[in-house]
Amino acid sequence: MTTKLLVAGAYFLFLCIRGILLWVVIPIAFCAWLMMLLLRPMFRKPYLPIGKLVGWADLNLRAAIAQALLRPLGYRIRFTPWADLHHVKHRVNWADPW
């Protein structure tokens, strides 16, 4: 009983921290996307949709928070490497920061 309560509390704390940090991560990801958009022609890189970059940032935010909160409970979320950015299908929902 106490283990389930501890896991539920950790998940609730995980969602609260993620919601707050998304208010910081999404604007940073947007600024990074703008920089990449401006530098793309100079380095001859393909176009990167903003949804993929924000999704990648959210996946890595979730992994970082999970390393601190959920790993001691036996749960582990992998980080998404930069090389896999074009394969990201995760999108941040408008209700996630709340």
Whole-model pTM: value is 0.85
**SS3 assignment, position 31:** helix
> Which residues, including other chains, have CB under 8 Å from residue 48's CB and lie 6 or more apart?
33, 36, 37, 40, 85, 86
Return the structure tokens found at 47: 């176009």
In angstroms, the first-to-last Cα distance of the chain is 29
**How far apart, in whole angstroms, are the C-alpha atoms of residue 18 and residue 65?**
7
Residue with tokens 């992994």: 63
Please write the tens of the pLDDT for every residue from 38-90. Answer: 988 888 888 889 999 999 999 999 999 999 888 878 788 899 999 998 898 88
> Which residues, including other chains, have CB under 8 Å from residue 60's CB and lie 6 or more apart?
79, 80
